[in-house]
Structures are given as C-alpha cells and as structure tokens.
Structure 1
Amino acid sequence: MRHHDVLIVGGGNAGVSLAARLLRDGAPDVALVESETVHRYRPLLNYVGAGEAVMASLERAASDVVPDGCTWISDRVVSVDLEPTGEVPGPVVHTGGGPVSCRALVLCTGLEEDWDATPGLAEAYADGWAASTFTIDGVTRVWPALSGRTRGRVLFTVPPEPAPCAATALKPLFMACDHWRRAGVLDDIDVTVVLPRSTPVGDGGTDHILGAAFASYGVAVVRDARVTRVAPHQVRVRTPAGEVELDDVDFAHVVPHYRAPDWVVRSGLSDGSPAGLVDIDPETLRHRAHPAVWSIGDVAAVATPPSGGALRKQVEVLAHNLAAAAAGKDGRELRRYDGYTVMPITTGRHELMLLEVDRTGRRVPTVPFPDLVRPRHSTWLLDRYALPQTYFRRILRGKV
C-alpha cells in the first residue's frame, strides 16, 4: 500500500495552493489526488459568460500547476477508511487504482452539481434554453444566448448555500443588463432574478447598492425563493407565499444546487446536512470526530460563504495547524480561521464592488481606503485582470 505523510484530495485552488504552501514550509511528503487533467481559475467563468473572457484564459494543464515535489495521484476517490489499524496508523483513501494511507488527510474536493435537486434542469440545459456560468459545459452558451437577445423573458437565479461563491451569480445578470441598455433593448426584455433569501448578500449597505442597481435596470426580484422544477420554457419557484410559475421563459440562467461528493457522506465524514459538508471545527479546520482529517474550501462546513478569497485565509491557518499537529502540539496552539470571505459583484460591464466580511457578517476590508464596496472601474480591472495573474503566479505556488 502506498503511504504519504499528508494526502490532499482535490486539485482545485484549495488543494494546489495548500500543497504548494506545505512544501514551501518544508513538509517532507505531500501527495495530491486529482483525476482532472485541466485546472481552471473558476472566477473567470462569469466573464466568459459575459463575453469578457475566453476559456483558454482560465485553463491550464493540471501538470503545470501541481507544485514541484508534490506526488500527483491522477485518480478518483471511492471511499475513505477512518479507523487506523496496527499496520496502518492513519486514514486510508481508496481510489480506482488502489488504497493510499496517510498520517493527515485533507479534503478539498469542492462541491458537485446536484441535478436531482431541481427536476427538469438537466434537460433544460441539454435543450439549450438554460445554462449558467457556474458549469463548465454550459458557460460558453451563456453569452451567445444573452448578447443577441432583443426581447422576451430572461430569468437569473442565485443558488442557495452551499455554492461556489453564490453571490457572483449576479455578475452575468448585471453585465447582461448593461449590455442590453447600451444596445437600446433593455425595455423590451423582462428580467427576473430569484434570490434564496430576503436580501442579495445580507449586508445593509451592499444590499442597498444592489437594490438600486436592480431598480435601475428594471429587474423584478423574487425573494426568499428557490427553483423547484423546470419544464420546457417554464420555471417553478417556491416562495413564502406559495409556488409561482414563471412561463414563457426564453432563457434561464439557473444555477444548479450543490452538494458534497457522495463518498464523503458514505465514509462518515459529513455534518449530516442535506449538502453533506465535511464536519469540521470551522475555526481550526479539523474534523470534529476524526483528528487526522482536515478540510477547507467549498466542501468544508466553515460556516461562511465559500469564495476564493476565503481560501487564502484557510490555507494559511491549515498549513500552520498541520505542522503543529505533526509536532504533537495541543489544540491551544492551533490557529483559528475567523470566517473571512469575499463577494465580488459587478454592477455593470466594467464596474465591480467587493464585499469582505467575517463569519459574523462584520466587514473586514483588506485595505481601509478606498471603500471597495462602492462599485469602481479600478476594482473591476483588479478582478478581471490582476487577480488571475496573481492566482497562477503566486497563489498556486504557495506564495500568498
């Protein structure tokens, strides 16, 4: 049986940047399980869906981003055995190619689309009248469907948590509305957005700005709601007042619901929630019942909305805690993650706001000035051009 000191499952932002950070800190043996051969900078998907980027700009070969010194296991996980035996002192991960044991197991799998949660949605994607910037197969269909539209009804949704940076589902809505206004056709398009709660993001000042943007573009807002069923050009939405049928929908940017991989639940690692998130202490990032297991990223129950910015903080905390645990230090010497996360939302094609909050919802801006919640062109430039370069050149190399 193969054995590694630290075994990371998932080769996205969380897994690769953590592996790089551990190796830079001197970890002797780090392995990464990832079956995908293409690595993607997912925040740019929203710009692909707005005609502002192409897929090639966000994709790299996985072999180019796995850090030097890291063992890449190109395989899929089937299950995890958590109870150590005399011969195997730690968890055992079962892959298609066989078992791999480890001292410390880190789960960074991300989330999977839960198509069964919304009957009819997969068929609507296949038929071509629904798609979203959150799915690799559907993102390239979004801008052609939106940019050429001159009339009709268009529906957008923000997915309920957990989801990969759910608030960014507003990006394609606002960028499309800006485009339609500039083209002189916005008044002929009926735009509706379905929000999973009463406000867009839960921050008073930010919600006020977004509410003004909805009103400026004439967007109808359905609050405290979620899509429950999709039929041909028809979307059913559950609201506090009951079920609502939205008919004659020409295009639906409906984001699917998300859940953890099935094997997380089957292996006894989940928190018991419908999404099956990994049951960790949200501050130390250590599993509540299995001290050799840790988790960060979208799949981890960190009690804060997932985002790429959150991962930078989580990687810093977890890298320290893994080293502390290996040295035999007790829980008092572990660092704590405060739940920092960030929500970048465009309010026009070239303007963006940046909300940074901790787990309690308190604003924790990275810089005190200027106020990044105010939509700015400079912040849009940062999000569209500077951050992707920082991601590939520094974050994935464990330098941030």
Structure 2
Amino acid sequence: MAFFGVVQSGAHVHQCANLLRAGVHSSSCRSLHMTTRCAAKEYYDVVVVGGGAGGITMSARMKRKVGAGKVAVIEPSEVHYYQPLWTLVGGGAKQLTSSVRSTSSLIPSGVKWIKSEVKGFDPDKNCIHIDDGKEIGYKYLIIALGLKLQFEKVKGLPEGFNYPKIGSNYSVKTVEKTWKALQDFKKGNAIFTFPNTPVKCAGAPQKIMYLAEEYLRKTGKRSDANFIFNTSLGVIFGVKKYADALLQIIKERDIQVNFKHSLIEVRADKQEAVFENLDNPGETKVYQYEMLHVTPPMGPPDVLVNSAVADAAGWVDVDKETLQHKKYPNVFGIGDCTNLPTSKTAAAVAAQSAVLDKTISLVINGKNPSTKYDGYTSCPLVTGYRKVILAEFDYNAQPLETFPIDQGKERRTMYHMKADMMPFLYWNMLLKGYWGGPAPIRKILHLGFK
C-alpha cells in the first residue's frame, strides 16, 4: 500500500509532541503522524489493538472515516462477551450464552481482522509487533486492550475455583460457579470482596451481593445467612449521593461491611478466606465461608507494562480530555487500558468513543483536538432482581444524570434498562459506532428542568 506523507525523524515527532502539550501547532507538526515508517509488509491508515467494546466500536467509526480496507483490528479471541450481563448470570437471572457473540460477526465489513496477539509497540516507527515476528505498520494507532484479571495475586487462586462454594462474576470460567454456590448455600457466611487495585465496573462486587441476599430471602435461607462485604476501599461507592443510598440499603438488609479489608488468600479446601487490614498492614483475619464471591485484583495487560506507550503503572498514557497520547500524537487510547481517572465501564467507553472520533478527525486535518471528555461513566447498581439505582457521574464524582428524576432511588424501570435495553444498545448501536453515550438525550430531557 502507498504510504501517505513524508518521512520525518523520530526527534521531530517528539519535538512536535512537546509543542502539542504546550498548545503550539506549527505547520510541520500538522503532519507529524507521517513519521518514520517501519518496514512492515502490512500497513493501514488506522490500526486498532484489541477487539473488546472500545476496539470494535472504534474500528466501525474509523472505517466510516478513512474507508474500507484501510482499518485493521488486532484481536486473538474468536469470541466476544458483553460482560456487564455477567452480574445477572451470576445471580441466575440471565444465561451465559446470551452474553456471547463470535468476533467475526462483530468486525465491520471492510475492516481487516488480524487474529493475533500483540507482542510489542514501537511508536517511534509507527509499528506493532505481533505473533510470528510479524510487523504491522500504521498511520494512526488506537489502543483498546482492556485490562487483565489477576486471580493469581490471591494465594490459593485460581486453583481454588476447582472447589465448590466459590465463584467470580468477572470471568467467563467462573461466573456460573457463582450461581451454583448461591443455589447450594445452606448456612453460614456469604462473603463478597473488592480488591486493592483498579477494577472494571466498581459497582459489580456488591451488585451480586444484593441479588444473593434477595435470592436467599425468597428461598427461606436468609435467616441462616450472614452477609459480609469486605472491601479494600474506605467508602462503599465513590459518589456520595449513591453511596448514601447504598448504605441505607445495607442497613435495611443487615449486611456487614468491613472497609480497608483486602483478600490475600483463599483456602478453598477449608472454606476459609484470609483478609489483610489495610489500615494495619500485616494484620490478618480468617473468615469461614459458605459462599465466597471473589473480585480479582486487576492490572494492565502484560504487553503494556514497561512499554513506550504506557505510564509508570502500565496504563496507556493519554490526555484525560482528548484521549490523545501525551507523547505520541498519532496514538490514542480508549477504555479500561487507559489511565483516565474515571470508572472502567462500557458506558465510559461509549462516551469516550464519541470524543475520540472527533479528536482523530481534527488530528487528521492538522487541527487541535477541542472536544473534551468530561469523565462520564455509568454504573447501573443492581440492588435486586427487579431494582436498580442508575448511577451516572463525571470526573469530579458528581452525578451527571440522564433522566430528570432522582436516580439515587431504586427503580424497576432502571432494572429493565440494565437487563434488556442496554444489551440491545450494546450489540446494535455501540459496537457499530452509532452510540456515543446519552449526552444528547440528557440535554433534551433536562430542557426546562434545570
């Protein structure tokens, strides 16, 4: 394929990046994406790394922007999961099969699917290294790798899942074990954990707890159950409005919450979970469990750690408003793999995709990115089999609600939105690049209410 643009030195790229951060745009820097190109046999205008929510969404948007045959997605997995549904799968309200589609059915026509694993980044040469020593060249790069589950960071896991009474809604391999543990519950402690790391969907660790509590009430076992939520955090939820509502529910349902408690070991053969008191490191407490739901530690994918595109912690280092890389102007990030200071959810990906679409359009045309991402994210807090508190908020942990009603209350309508409408929206709108979050709807619905 023809290479669009002139060859410039890597030093020029860094100079332009520095000018960009300072808000200065020279005429030569407007073509800074046309830098040194690696000697790759395959080359695309846009390469998207990762075939999750962010990756598929941006590939659809980029195909419409630069044309068929000019966009590639690098993704090794043959299946794609709508993971927000796994809360309901773990609670027995949905089937796992309803959360699965083939990757091939989701890759937009005209977009090349490179079924491979990324082995390394060389942004100075606009190059991606994949399996078998192959290289993929790009003009623009979008990194959408998601994050990595780290069960192995808890002693006794993941092998502990070979025993009964333990599950996790965060993995396709363990989500159905949650439902089995709930069904088999007899008498004792039902324990739910939150790790001492960033997580995707920070509300999910307690959503399953509320479903489990209601299930045991309906099956006549609640009086024999002691519900415990051990969280490494110091608060129940990061936004005060929703935290206050959740604490009231916790009080009404007689659930014990232990803050600053981090799971460090599971002794599945003895049905014991060991927690460290983060306020007094080294101090541990052993809990016997009849049911244990584990939210694993999480971190950036291995390929990002110590890479040129990541920050010191291993997350893709992007501007929090434009999603453009802080050092490489033709590199962008979206979703869970980035260091954006907001919750890692599919709703955040939707809002980010609309901003990133506009950012890349402006960069292609040599202009400054001007559309700003406000940190919008959403977490439908499932509090029962027919109840949801729809939490929506921004970078400042302030409510940013779509509907002109109090979303801090449990509502059946919001449950149906979570269980029925959002999956439809995901498969048919978001992944096809037509859903950029509810901001336009919010503006319409709030006319006359503000």
Are the equivalent residues in 2 in contact too, given 1:162–1:298 (CA < 8 A)? Answer: no
The reply on whether 1:383 has 2:418 as its aligned counterpart is yes
The reply on whether 1:82 has 2:89 as its aligned counterpart is no
Q: Which residue in 2 is equivalent to 1:225? A: 261
TM-fit CA distance, 1:191: 1.4
RMSD: 1.6
The reply on whether 1:249 has 2:289 as its aligned counterpart is yes
Instruction: Note closer, same or farther for the CA distance 1:313–1:27 as it changes in structure 2 (3 Å cut).
Output: farther
- Between the aligned partners of 1:76 and 1:272, the Cα distance in structure 2 is 23
The reply on whether 1:283 has 2:321 as its aligned counterpart is yes
> Which deviates further from its counterpart, 119-128 or 280-289?
119-128
Work out the number of aligned pairs and report it. Answer: 390
Are the equivalent residues in 1 in contact too, given 2:266–2:273 (CA < 8 A)? Answer: yes
Q: Which residue in 1 is equivalent to 2:42? A: 2
Instruction: Note closer, same or farther for the CA distance 1:98–1:206 as it changes in structure 2 (3 Å cut).
Output: same
Code of the aligned partner of 1:271: D
> Which deviates further from its counterpart, 6-15 or 241-250?
241-250
TM value normalised by structure 1: 0.93
Deviations 1:301-330 (A, max 9, x none): 011111111111100111111121122223
SS at match of 2:402: coil
For structure 2, the 5+ residue unaligned runs are 1-40, 436-450
Code of the aligned partner of 2:388: L
Code of the aligned partner of 2:395: R
TM value normalised by structure 2: 0.83
TM-fit CA distance, 1:135: 0.8
One of 359, 364, 372 as aligned partner of 1:321: 359
Q: How does 1:293-304 map to 2 (within 5 A)?
A: 293-304=331-342
Q: Which residue in 2 is equivalent to 1:91? A: 127
Q: How does 1:68-79 map to 2 (within 5 A)?
A: 68-79=109-120
Code of the aligned partner of 1:126: N
- Between the aligned partners of 1:25 and 1:291, the Cα distance in structure 2 is 18
Code of the aligned partner of 1:69: G
Deviations 1:132-152 (A, max 9, x none): 101110001111110231312
Are the equivalent residues in 1 in contact too, given 2:186–2:290 (CA < 8 A)? Answer: no
Q: How does 1:1-400 map to 2 (within 5 A)?
A: 1-27=41-67, 29-84=70-125, 90-96=126-132, 98-232=134-268, 233-239=271-277, 240-241=279-280, 243-273=283-313, 276-330=314-368, 333-367=369-403, 369-400=404-435
Moved over 4 A (4+): none
SS at match of 1:298: helix
Are the equivalent residues in 1 in contact too, given 2:52–2:144 (CA < 8 A)? Answer: yes
Q: Which residue in 1 is equivalent to 2:15? A: none
- Between the aligned partners of 1:294 and 1:10, the Cα distance in structure 2 is 13
- Between the aligned partners of 2:379 and 2:289, the Cα distance in structure 1 is 28
Which has the higher Rg, Structure 1 or Structure 2?
A: 2
Code of the aligned partner of 2:302: D
Instruction: Note closer, same or farther for the CA distance 1:161–1:309 as it changes in structure 2 (3 Å cut).
Output: farther
Deviations 1:234-263 (A, max 9, x none): 222122145332332222101111111111
- Between the aligned partners of 1:73 and 1:44, the Cα distance in structure 2 is 27
Identity of aligned residues (%): 27
> Which deviates further from its counterpart, 349-358 or 126-135?
126-135
Are the equivalent residues in 2 in contact too, given 1:16–1:66 (CA < 8 A)? Answer: yes
SS at match of 2:288: coil
